[in-house]
Structure 1
């Protein structure tokens, strides 16, 4: 799918440029413009991890961004020794280390790469999480991501992913969509004077719709997966485990 300049908005280089440019303002902008819901949804994403007594020692945060899910993971599962954060944007990860998580640095490893091109070892993870990265992939990339999650999880390993979504059927959907596609770009143009990178969030979200299709792809890969909506479908997620 092309951008206004004809670029493929799902090309890894395009996604990297978008998030490198907006990394400096990303934390504040996403929190304020979501009215705090992104933080609530991260907590709910972690709460959906159900290891059923199995150890949670090492795992992956895919499309890790600024690492805002790490405090929730480490609080919920204090036995975690290593979170390997995989993200294509060097700007987002540097923001995470400089401003949020320097005192947790010894427990965070980082791979700067397109997650679909990264050579993560088979059956190397007790858990996999991803918060607000699914929308930056197209259908073919979603299939590859589902294969990757199934491959890297240990038998009995758990996963949870969440993404902003299009609340189809909700009576306030027009207001929500205006917020994403009208209000946020206006704020960016008038206050941030940016390259309209945050406006891409609305476009990616509208194209993504929800995580229902991705949950089907995970099941196709042999994983037990449960789909759920959050706050009238403004976010959606999928969680589950790899059978023993």
Structure 2
């Protein structure tokens, strides 16, 4: 047995539980996620930005939901240099602090932080030219995904665009057993014996396998009238959903 499972006595989708996990992970999150994904998380962030159907040279403002350490911002600002403002929403104070102190202080004039549960945040209707989210979807259950779909549909301006990506369960891939072994066994062992943590990083594997893939959220967004595209990355080890809100006629 690797150790006690921190989810045993808790609702792992409760916002307070999620906040605690990522506050404790924040100082080592960047290195851990890069090493333990063999660099794929960085590649997938770039692909998420590439899937965002936004015009490159039109001034735009929008939201990075479940923003974490803000690792998507360099890709976003490189592809869309006319972006005027990014409002980063995340429940974890530790992740916000890490984003500002380690990565993005020189971009601070374009980025505003909101420390809040995304689903409880008061984002104004029709206020976003774009919405992006990388690797935060897994921390929501199905009911919370319904609320997130509502939020995206309401918050986007007519003609606005969105792109979301999440690590996923690559069902049907012949190497899936090795992938799940990596998530469920190797990562907890690495944390226990190398990082000597409280097994918070092991929760990332639990969240990812519980999430499955982005097909459910894709259907929810489509039901709300958005134009939607579903994408599988690297045999389904990550899945994404992107699209637009219809422009006013």
* TM superposition score category, shorter chain reference: over 0.9
Show structure 2 runs of 5+ residues with no match: none
> 2:226 matched to which residue of 1?
223
> 1:147 matched to which residue of 2?
150
Aligned pairs, number: 243
Kindly state the Cα deviation for residue 54 of structure 1 after the two structures are TM-superposed: 8.1
Kindly state the Cα deviation for residue 55 of structure 1 after the two structures are TM-superposed: 3.1
Kept in 2: contact 1:62–1:128 (CA 8 A): yes
Report the secondary structure of 1:177's partner residue.
helix
- Give the Cα–Cα distance (whole angstroms) in 2 for the partners of residues 9 and 85 of structure 1: 23
Show structure 1 runs of 5+ residues with no match: none
Could you tell me the TM-score, scaled by structure 2's length? 0.95
Q: Which residue among 198, 203, 209 is the counterpart of 2:201?
A: 198
CA separation of 1:167 and 1:49: change in aligned 2, threshold 3 A: same
Q: Which residue among 104, 107, 120 is the counterpart of 1:104?
A: 107
- Give the Cα–Cα distance (whole angstroms) in 1 for the partners of residues 79 and 129 of structure 2: 14
> 1:123 matched to which residue of 2?
126
> 2:136 matched to which residue of 1?
133
Query: Deviations 1:19-54 (Å, cap 9, x if unpaired)?
Result: 000100000000000000000000000000112578
RMSD between superposed Cα atoms in Å: 1.2
1:168 paired to 2:175: no
Query: Deviations 1:188-209 (Å, cap 9, x if unpaired)?
Result: 0001111100100111111100
